[in-house]
Copies of this chain bind each other. A is one copy, B any other.
Amino acid sequence: MSREAPARIGDRIEDVDTPALILDLDAFEGNIKRLNGALEGRNIRVRTHAKTHKCPEIALRQIQAGAVGVCCQKVSEAEAMVEGGVNDVLVSNEVVGRQKLARLARLAKRARIGICIDHASQVPALGEAARAEGVELDVYVEIDVGAKRCGVAPGQAAAALAKAIAVMPGLRFAGLQAYQGSAQHVRTNAERKAKIDFAVEAARTTRASIEAAGISCPIVTGAGSGSFMFEAASGVYDELQPGSYIFMDADYARNEWAPPLPRFEHSLFVLATVMSRPVPGRIVVDAGLKASSVDSGLPTVWQRPGLEFVRASDEHGVIEANNGVAPPELGDKLLLVPGHCDPTVNLYDWYVGVRAGVVEVLWPITARGALG
């Protein structure tokens, strides 16, 4: 059920079968440098988020560029990363269920594995899984720093959980998971910073509560591509978890990108073919909902002023030609910038890595569909 790659190495981009997920290697490598450049001189760890790319080839390049390891959201994603050679993975999420915890513990025989907890009942379950495999797991307490998703309340509740972890054989209390996901796409820097200021205070008081209980709190980890410079400057966060920065997407591009945040470039595209031009001004491409996730908005047409992607159905994208621009011809190929990179990547089996118009690498997306 895995699919063949839509290109061969050495193909020109015009000859890539569509729809295909294109990675502009210059822009991708530039984004890694931009992140490092922005953080230069700061004593802070980077643990890039692999839920964005689901690809060990990319993870290894991020680690080579300085990341301490990766985050994942699912056990099966972590398995794909370890299988691909990554030796330090934090599942920055809760994992519930005996079978999944057993798989996670088995993985800790091959790599350093971290996991989050936000409920006391998970402490003995996780301890049992770790001891059954004879491993130690890094366990982080997830606190809700304003996103209202998972996480215990900051402060005493988190400290109580940290204490339960610290005394449980098989578990190492590793610190706090303090990710403010709902801040990342808030449009202005000022509003984003205000949300992160709240998160920083929540993390600071929680660490203080834990340390007051005589427990060391080694790492406060969190942050995303839209906010990481605020966490980096906080004096509270020790580790950053940006994911989307390597790709950017149309929705992130709608954010204000101003110092201290570097401006990342689009490196991820969906290559599509014009398959119908039924009336003047309406162009239909072969990429719809199943080729570009629309949960955060439609894709945009890359570097073709006047062409607007106006509607997606399952297998079709409808583009309008406005302002008198000449519409592309039947068979022409267009690059689309996905609305949201993470779920779009999850639709594909391969990155087609392109430089100067030529396919240079084909990277398998081995954690595609790794839901469990």
Binding site for B on A (CB under 8 A): 1-3, 6, 17-20, 51, 73-74, 76, 93-97, 99-100, 118-119, 121-122, 144, 148-153, 181, 273-279, 282, 284, 286-287, 289-291, 293-295, 312-316, 318, 330-331, 340, 342-343, 346-349, 364-366, 368-372
Inside 8 A of A276's CB, which chain B residues have their CB?
A: 94, 96, 118-119, 149-151
Complex CA distance for A100 and B289, rounded to whole angstroms: 21
**Cβ-defined contact, A343 with B96, below 8 A:** no
Inside 8 A of A97's CB, which chain B residues have their CB?
A: 17-18, 273, 331
Q: How far apart are A84's CB and chain B's nearest CB, in angstroms?
A: 11
Q: How far apart are A208's CB and chain B's nearest CB, in angstroms?
A: 21
**Cβ-defined contact, B372 with A17, below 8 A:** yes
Q: How far apart are A312's CB and chain B's nearest CB, in angstroms?
A: 8
Closest 8 CB pairs of A and B: A1-B2, A150-B276, A73-B315, A96-B275, A2-B2, A19-B371, A94-B275, A289-B343
Inside 8 A of A118's CB, which chain B residues have their CB?
A: 276, 278
Inside 8 A of A348's CB, which chain B residues have their CB?
A: 369, 371
B19, B122, B150, B330: which contacts A121 (Cβ < 8 A)? B330
Complex CA distance for A96 and B316, rounded to whole angstroms: 13
Inside 8 A of A295's CB, which chain B residues have their CB?
A: 289, 293-295, 312
In the complex, what residue of chain B is closest to A311 when comparing beta carbons? B149
Complex CA distance for A153 and B280, rounded to whole angstroms: 12
Inside 8 A of A152's CB, which chain B residues have their CB?
A: 278
* Listed A/B pairs (22) with beta-carbon separation below 8 Å: A6-B372, A17-B372, A18-B371, A18-B372, A19-B372, A20-B372, A93-B275, A94-B275, A94-B284, A96-B275, A96-B276, A119-B276, A122-B330, A148-B318, A149-B318, A150-B276, A150-B316, A151-B276, A290-B346, A290-B371, A293-B295, A314-B342
B93, B275, B365: which contacts A315 (Cβ < 8 A)? B93
**Cβ-defined contact, B315 with A368, below 8 A:** no
Q: How far apart are A96's CB and chain B's nearest CB, in angstroms?
A: 5
- Given A3-B76, A276-B150, A347-B346: A100 in contact with B17 (beta carbons within 8 A): yes
Q: Known pairs A1-B349, A73-B315; list 17 more (Cβ under 8 Å).
A: A17-B99, A17-B100, A51-B315, A93-B315, A94-B275, A119-B330, A122-B330, A144-B278, A148-B318, A150-B275, A150-B278, A289-B342, A295-B312, A314-B342, A348-B369, A348-B371, A349-B369
In the complex, what residue of chain B is closest to A293 when comparing beta carbons? B289
**Cβ-defined contact, A291 with B371, below 8 A:** yes
**Cβ-defined contact, A284 with B150, below 8 A:** yes
